[in-house]
């Protein structure tokens, strides 16, 4: 793809993506995920949606790449139990516990990428202080403090549409809800991003469920890993 992967622009300084381009990218990514989940004969669970797998063409239109971990499932079934796979920082908490991939786990990964696009930082930043190391936890905290626009990528300055930005951040938080049953479908995501439906109503404090990790088999090593531990999803 002419413009490579999304992460090279967001995190590696290849190009400073303007707000209009960023919003276009997230809308395109949502459309691509809708095709995978809803429009084919079978539902395709990607299982590894992340910034480095979002490819950009010459006009910065988003395409989903790397289907090495993808699985086909019946639309009626919508989930598959398998070994844990994906990239840390993008894996939904229930996958860590059960190994069950689903539309909802893809939605979680999409939400993390949406937050990365808005905030201009990676899902896990080990060099940050503990309270800011997890992008999801940090955005949740500032949302609870009614400071959600304080998470906006400082490289954008004030050159962004505040209404669109709030919409994207709220959608991102909706998608990474720790309870998979309270996440939106990709259809609902698109409706909100297109301002065809109202913003979601989210709790001011994020629940903190704990999940046991049975295995690291299939996890990409590009992110920090661990073996048998418990993860507490921070508020």
Q: Which residues are catalytic?
A: 48
Q: Which of 151, 191, 187, 195 lies closest to 169 in space, CA to CA? A: 151
Under 8 Å between Cβ of 80 and 218: no
Structure-token match 């996440």, residue found? 183
Where in 41-155 does DSSP place strands (E)?
Answer: 43-45, 54-56, 62-64, 71-73, 79-81, 86-87, 100-102
> What gap in Å lies between CA 194 and CA 72, rounded to an integer?
28
Task: Give how far Cα 39 sits from Cα of 31, 34, 35, 43, 190, Å.
Answer: 10, 7, 5, 8, 14
Distance of alpha carbon 134 from alpha carbon 53, whole angstroms? 20
Q: Which two tokens stand for residue 168?
A: 């994207």
Q: Whose CA is closest to 186, among 53, 78, 36?
A: 36
């Amino acid at each position: 793809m002419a413009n490579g992967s999304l992460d090279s622009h967001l995190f590696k300084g290849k190009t400073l993506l303007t707000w209009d381009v960023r919003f276009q990218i997230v809308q395109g990514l949502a459309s691509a995920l809708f095709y995978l989940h809803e429009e084919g004969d079978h539902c395709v669970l990607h299982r590894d949606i992340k910034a480095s797998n979002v490819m950009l063409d010459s006009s910065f239109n988003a395409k989903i790449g790397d289907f090495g971990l993808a699985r086909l499932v019946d639309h009626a079934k919508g989930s598959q139990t398998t070994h844990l796979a994906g990239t840390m920082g993008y894996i939904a908490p229930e996958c860590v516990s059960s190994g069950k991939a689903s539309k909802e786990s893809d939605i979680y990964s999409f939400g993390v990428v949406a937050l990365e696009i808005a905030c201009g930082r990676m899902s896990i930043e080990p060099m940050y202080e503990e309270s800011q190391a997890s992008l999801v936890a940090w955005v949740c905290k500032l949302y609870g403090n009614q400071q959600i626009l304080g998470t906006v990528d400082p490289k954008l300055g004030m050159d962004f549409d505040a209404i669109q930005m709030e919409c994207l951040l709220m959608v991102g938080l909706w998608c990474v809800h720790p309870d998979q049953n309270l996440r939106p479908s990709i259809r609902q995501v698109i409706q909100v991003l297109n301002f065809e439906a109202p913003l979601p109503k989210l709790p001011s404090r994020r629940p903190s469920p704990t999940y046991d990790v049975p295995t690291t088999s299939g996890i990409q090593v590009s992110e920090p890993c661990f073996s048998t531990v418990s993860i507490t999803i921070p508020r």
